[in-house]
Structures are given as C-alpha cells and as structure tokens.
C-alpha cells in the first residue's frame, strides 16, 4: 500500500516518463547493493594469491627484511578465536616477525600458551591486572624489538600474505613511516563480507571517522616521537594514535588489498555497535584533541551512523564571500536562486551576476529591480560564444571577496547556513576548494563528489541514491576528501583561484571544474566535499543537452583535452577512489577482474 501511494504521488507530480526513470534508477541501485557481497567472492578468487603464489612468497628474498612487531593486547581471550589468530600468524609467508602478547586478564589462562609455546617469535607477558586496552597495548609495546609495529586485536585474523605485502610496501617505499590496508569482516560461519576498500590518505575523511582502522603499521621511530597509547581514549585508542601519527608524518602509504579480517561476533564493534558505545565518545574526544594540537577552532558532534563525526569549524572573522553567477535569459531560475541566497544566515557576501548575452526583455527588467540591493551587481560579458570558464574568470575581475563562490543560476539553497558550512572548512590552511551536496528535485543525489576516471574522464559519485542514504561507508553523508567537486557550487580561496590562473578557458563547457580542482590539488591544496551545505540543482537547464553535431564534437574535443592534460593522473587512478572499484558506475561497485 505504501509503495502504491508513492507511485501515485510521482505519477501525479512528475508524470509517467519521469516516474519510469525513477523506478529504473531504484532497481539499478537495489541490484548494485544486493550483488556487492556476491561480487566480493569473485573478487577474492581473482585477486588473492593461490597456493603456488603463496609458496613463492615464502621463498622470496627481500632486499630489506625488517622485523615486524605485532602488538596483541589480551583480556579474557576466547580460546577458539585465539587459536585461530595464532594459526593465521604462524602461516604468514613472511617470517621475520614477533608477536607481543600482553594479557590483562584477572586469571592466567594456561591453555592459551600451548598455541605458541614452541615458537620463539611469540613473547608473552601476564600482567595480573587489567590496565585497560591502551595500557595493555603499551605493555605489549615494551616487549617489541622490531623496526615496525603492527596492531592486531586478540580475536581477529590476518590472511597468510598480510605481512609479505607490508614488507614489500616498505621495500618499495623507503622511509615510509605509516602503512594501512583495506579490510573486511569475517562472520561466525567464516564468510568474508563487507570489504572496506579505502581511499589513500584523506585527512578530512579521517576526522569524520576512523576509516583507516585495520591494518595499521607504524615505524617504531614514529611511535617514539608521538608517544604511546593513551588510556583516556580507551575504546578509540587506535583512532587517537592514528590521528597523531598521520599529523606527524607525510610518509604514509595505503595498500589497496584486504590484509585484515575483522571478526564479527556478539560483543565485537563490527557486529554490535551498542557493545562499545563509549568508544564513539572517546573518538569524538580524540578528534577534539587533534583540533587543539593543530590550533584549529571548532567542535565535534556525533552523527547518526555510529562512529561517524562532524567537525564544526569556527568561522574566523567574517570574510567577504563573492558569489559569481553566470546567467543568460533565465529569469525564473535566477529568481529562485537569488531568493534562496537572500535567506542565508551568513550575511557578508556580494553577488556578481555575469550577464551573458541575454535576449529577453524580462531579464533586464529583473536586473533593474536588483539595484536596490547594495551587495548585488550585474556585469556584462559580451563575447558571443558560450565559454563557462571565460564567463567565470570575467566575473572574478569584479570580486572583492577573500573567497570566491562559483554558483550556477539553476540551483536553490536548502540549508540556510550553507556558506558557514563551506567557509569553515575552506579557512583551513591546507584546503583550497570546498564543494557541496547537490540534489535533484526528487531528493536523490546529483553530486556528492567527483571521481577521476569514471566514464573514462570524470564523474559524480553516489549519483541517484537517496539524500538520506549514507552511501559506501557513509561517504555521501560525511565531510571527506575528493579529487574534484562540481563548480555548480564551489568555494575557493581567492588567492588560490588566482594562483592557478582561474578556470582553463580551453574547457569551454565540460570538465572545466574538474580541471580547476586538479590544478588546485597540484599546488598542494586539498579538495573537500561537505554534505552539510545542501542545494537543489536543476541540472543543465540553461545549457541544454549535447544534442547537435557541433555540441557533440565540442564535448568529444574537451574529453580528449582532459585526457591529454591529465594522462598520468588518469593512469595512476584517483587516490580517493580505491582501484578495486569499477570506473563504469556512479556507485562503489567492486571490479571483480584481476588486478594483482
């Protein structure tokens, strides 16, 4: 009955054609998510080493063979789980490791010792008292003699090739100080599922949740520098130390392979988030502590999805924001856009409407009516050929603000504090650009970040999912890093805009915003997406479709231009999009083909 009501609602409001399109989108999304774990089984078969490859790993001679010290804090450890953990370590194809076991149980369990007593790579210390997860881990660290330190829970598992991959990474990246890998969950029936294929290091994503988590490996000298685990963050002690480690080194490498199996049982966080709700409070405190260390003013709040957070950055001062809006003969769209801006809670802004060869009288009458607003001006762009880059660069000449906000005329603001949400992030020293979440009129996602390589060039990720759908590991609904965002709503520091000479005018219509973001990233700045600045985007109303031979030819030429200009980056892959995902989908779909 509920579905029928929805169907009639859409038929009534949007017509048969659009209703059919929506149903097809829903079916595609359902099929994508329902197939995820089925595809993962195929991915495992195609991409993880077989027995012959594992034998070769055992006999492989590395130039550098560091000792890896694996810290395992113990407390009332389950014997069955522990036996399986030890077996997974003994079966490693790389053998120069030690396992440092610190047992904080009230009573020593002699049965556990039989699993490692004849292997001198296992060092065990019974503490006699539970000091908590951080201090128990610190006790394990005292036993470590290796050049690198790895973290492992007492009930999880490592695949046989895990340490081999770590040491290979160390050999391929001299000087690496922090390494992390992808991970999955293994259930009570030993079924592997829910793989977390992670992005390369993403500081804003890390402040939104501990996406790094397992498998984490630190150079011992880095731990000596930043200090040990801290008991006031018990439950999120790994989050705290990862935050401290990653702010203390740039030598960070992500291994895009599943090197850790997080066991799901009734008391584990992976299965029952309520079992460790205190850990989420500790995570919030760990982020707030990082803000203090970095002298960043702001606060942290817990989001609806357990373990995810939002950093609310304080606005420093009240800098002028220059909003540049190109427009041609688009009266109703522009009206709707401006009226929604006028309702904004942030007031120190100016609006620069770039008039682009309009032909209708009503738009000029509307321009005249805007003269009553002191912070609105209309400037005339007179070149006849449409060139989005030139139009915005022309508007920039009139902008007085410390920040420039590129905005399409076919958007409508949803969140009144949209400028504050973007500005707080953009004020951070390492951030160059901030993008917003854009929705279609039916409250499905039009833009939640741009991935390089999708469709051969670039495309919007999470397209067509519901606004309240968190997406893959919450990335649609948290602040996180991307390679690019759309210029339909893009905030950039004015000095950064000028530093890269604005938008490249060779990209007349398409990919100019992606190219702009790439240029900004080349200068060392981050691009950040926030879902907390939200707008409707009535996409391409003013430009129209690529429906003529001339337009199709121009579009093809801009694709070729982008591919030539950013060939290396396209070949290397988007750092914020794991190589294990397909590039022919707007969703995070596993690429089951062989890559390794």
| 510-537 confidence digits (pLDDT tens) | 999 999 999 999 999 999 999 999 999 9
343-378, pLDDT tens digit by residue?
999 999 999 999 999 999 999 999 999 999 999 999
On whether the CB atoms of residues 111 and 76 are closer than 8 A, the answer is no
Q: In the chain, where does the domain assigned CATH 3.90.550.10 lie?
A: 61-300, 321-572
- Domain 321-572, what architecture? Alpha-Beta Complex (3.90)
Rounded to whole angstroms, how far apart are CA atoms 391 and 268? 55
pLDDT score of 391 more than 90: yes
Mean pLDDT of 412-418: 98
Q: What is the spatial distance between Cα 380 and Cα 378, in angstroms, rounded to a whole number?
A: 7
**pLDDT of 120 higher than 90:** yes
Strand partners, 149: 69, 218
Q: What is the pLDDT of residue 264?
A: 87
The mean pLDDT of 179-189, rounded to a whole number, is 96
| Ranges assigned E (strand) in 174-219 | 178-186, 192-196, 216-219
Strands (E), 250-297: 252-263
Per-residue burial over 78-101, b if 16 or more Cβ lie within 10 Å, else e, is: eeebbbbbbebbeebbbeebbbbb
Q: Closest by alpha carbon to 531, among 445, 455, 589? A: 445
pLDDT at position 554 is: 86
Range 233-254 average pLDDT: 97
The answer to whether 479 and 425 are in contact (CB under 8 A) is yes
Question: Looking at the predicted structure, is the pLDDT value of residue 544 above 50?
Answer: no
Please check the confidence at residue 25 and state whether its pLDDT lies above 90: no
What are the b/e assignments for 152-172, b being 16+ CB within 10 Å?
Answer: bbbbbbbbbbbbbbbbbbbee
Closest of 193, 164, 199 to residue 180, by C-alpha: 199
- Answer whether residue 28 shows pLDDT above 70: no
Read off the pLDDT of each residue in 391-406 and give the average, rounded to a whole number.
98
Query: Is the model's pLDDT at 204 over the cut of 80?
Result: yes
- For 289-326, letters b (16+ CB in 10 Å) and e give bbbeeeebebebeebeeebbbbbebebeeebebbbbbb
Go through the chain and tell me how many residues it has. 596
Task: Catalogue the E-assigned strands of 202-294.
Answer: 216-219, 252-263
- Helical residues (DSSP H) of 35-69, grouped into ranges: 36-47, 51-59
Token readout for 213 is 């988590």
Could you give the 3-state DSSP secondary structure of residue 197? coil
Q: How far is CA 194 from the centre of its chain?
A: 17
Alpha carbon distances (Å) from 340 to 168, 371, 414, 416, 542: 54, 18, 8, 8, 19
Higher pLDDT, 265 or 43: 43
DSSP letter at 348 equals -
The pLDDT, as a whole number, for residue 552 is: 85
Around Cβ 109, how many Cβ atoms within 10 Å?
14
Between the alpha carbon of residue 143 and those of residues 98, 112, 126, 148, the distances in Å are 10, 18, 12, 13
pLDDT at 277: 84
CA–CA distance, 500 with 488 (Å, rounded to integer): 19
Whole-angstrom distance, CA of residue 214 vs CA of residue 195: 12
Are 220 and 144 contacting, i.e. CB atoms less than 8 angstroms apart? yes
- Which range, of 117-121, 273-277, 390-394, averages the lowest pLDDT? 273-277
Is residue 96 pLDDT above 90, yes or no?
Answer: yes
Q: Is the pLDDT of residue 572 over 90?
A: yes
CATH class held by domain 61-300: alpha beta
Confidence of residue 319 (pLDDT cuts 50, 70, 90): very high
Ramachandran bin of 130, using left for φ above 0, alpha for ψ from -120 to 50, beta for the remaining angles:
beta
Residue 591 makes CB contacts below 8 A (sequence gap 6+) with 43, 579, 580, 581, 582, 583
The 8-class DSSP code of residue 266 comes to T
Q: Mean pLDDT over residues 99-122, rounded? A: 94
Question: For residue 543, what pLDDT band results from cuts at 50, 70 and 90?
Answer: very low
In tens, the pLDDT along 276-310 reads 789 999 999 999 999 999 999 999 999 999 999 99
Residues 85, 398: Cα–Cα separation, whole Å? 64
| Res. 82: pLDDT tops 70 | yes
Torsion sign, CA atoms 377, 381, 386, 388:
negative
- Confidence check: pLDDT of 27 > 80: no
Confidence of residue 33 (pLDDT cuts 50, 70, 90): very low
For residue 376, how many other CB atoms are within 10 A of its CB?
19
- pTM given for the model: 0.91
- In angstroms, the CA 475 to CA 212 distance is 14
Residue tagged 């290979």 (tokens): 168
- Above 60 in pLDDT, residue 84? yes
Q: What percent of the chain has pLDDT over 90?
A: 87
Look at residues 214, 269, 267 and name the one whose alpha carbon lies nearest to residue 239. Answer: 214
């Amino acid at each position: 009955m509920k579905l029928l009501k929805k169907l009639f609602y859409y038929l009534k409001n949007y017509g048969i054609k659009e209703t059919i399109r929506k149903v097809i989108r829903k079916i595609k999304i359902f099929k994508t998510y329902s197939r995820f774990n089925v595809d993962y089984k195929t991915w495992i078969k195609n991409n993880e080493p077989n027995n012959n490859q594992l034998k070769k790993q055992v006999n492989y001679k590395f130039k550098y063979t560091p000792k890896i010290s694996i810290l395992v804090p113990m407390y009332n450890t389950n014997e069955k789980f522990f036996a399986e953990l030890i077996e997974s370590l003994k079966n490693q194809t790389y053998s120069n490791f030690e396992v440092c076991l610190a047992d904080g149980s009230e009573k020593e369990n002699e049965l556990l010792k039989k699993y490692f007593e004849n292997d001198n790579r296992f060092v065990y210390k019974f503490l006699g008292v539970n000091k908590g997860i951080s201090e128990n881990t610190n006790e394990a660290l005292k036993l470590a003699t290796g050049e690198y330190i790895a973290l492992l829970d007492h009930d999880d598992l490592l695949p046989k090739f895990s340490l081999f991959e770590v040491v290979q990474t160390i050999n391929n990246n001299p000087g690496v100080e922090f390494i992390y890998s992808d991970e999955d969950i293994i259930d009570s029936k030993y079924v592997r599922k829910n793989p977390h294929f992670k992005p390369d290091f993403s500081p804003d994503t890390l402040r939104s949740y501990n996406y790094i988590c397992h498998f984490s490996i630190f150079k011992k000298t880095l731990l000596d520098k930043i200090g040990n685990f801290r008991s006031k963050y018990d439950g999120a002690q790994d989050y705290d130390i990862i935050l401290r480690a990653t702010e203390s080194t740039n030598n960070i490498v992500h291994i895009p392979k599943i090197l850790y199996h997080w066991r799901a049982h009734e008391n584990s966080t992976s299965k029952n988030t309520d079992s460790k709700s205190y850990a989420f409070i500790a995570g919030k405190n760990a982020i707030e502590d990082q803000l203090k260390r970095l002298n960043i003013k702001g606060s942290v709040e817990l989001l609806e999805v357990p373990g995810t957070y939002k950093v609310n950055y304080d606005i420093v001062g009240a800098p002028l924001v220059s909003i540049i809006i190109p427009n041609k003969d688009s009266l109703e769209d522009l009206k709707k856009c401006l009226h929604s801006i006028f309702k904004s809670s942030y007031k120190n802004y100016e609006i620069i409407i770039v008039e682009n060869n309009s032909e209708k009288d009503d738009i000029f009458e509307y321009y005249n009516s805007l003269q009553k607003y002191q912070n609105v001006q209309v400037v005339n762009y007179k070149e006849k050929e449409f060139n989005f880059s030139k139009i915005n660069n022309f508007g920039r000449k009139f902008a007085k603000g410390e920040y420039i906000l590129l905005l399409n005329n076919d958007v409508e603001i949803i969140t009144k504090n949209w400028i504050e949400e973007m500005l707080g992030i953009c004020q951070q020293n390492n951030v160059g650009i901030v993008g917003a979440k854009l929705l279609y009129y039916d409250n499905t996602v039009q833009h939640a970040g741009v991935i390089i390589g999708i469709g051969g060039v670039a495309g919007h990720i999470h397209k067509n999912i519901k606004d309240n759908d968190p997406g893959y590991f919450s990335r649609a609904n948290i602040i996180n890093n991307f390679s690019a965002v759309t210029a339909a709503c893009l905030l950039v520091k004015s000095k950064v805009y000028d530093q890269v000479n604005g938008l490249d005018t060779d990209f007349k219509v398409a990919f100019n915003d992606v190219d702009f973001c790439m240029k900004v990233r080349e200068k060392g700045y981050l691009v950040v997406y926030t879902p907390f600045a939200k707008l409707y985007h009535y996409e391409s109303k003013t430009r129209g479709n690529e429906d003529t031979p001339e337009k199709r030819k121009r579009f093809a030429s801009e694709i070729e231009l982008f591919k030539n200009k950013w060939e290396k980056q396209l070949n290397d892959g988007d750092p914020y999009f794991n190589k294990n995902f397909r590039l022919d989908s707007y969703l995070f779909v596993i690429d089951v083909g062989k890559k390794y």
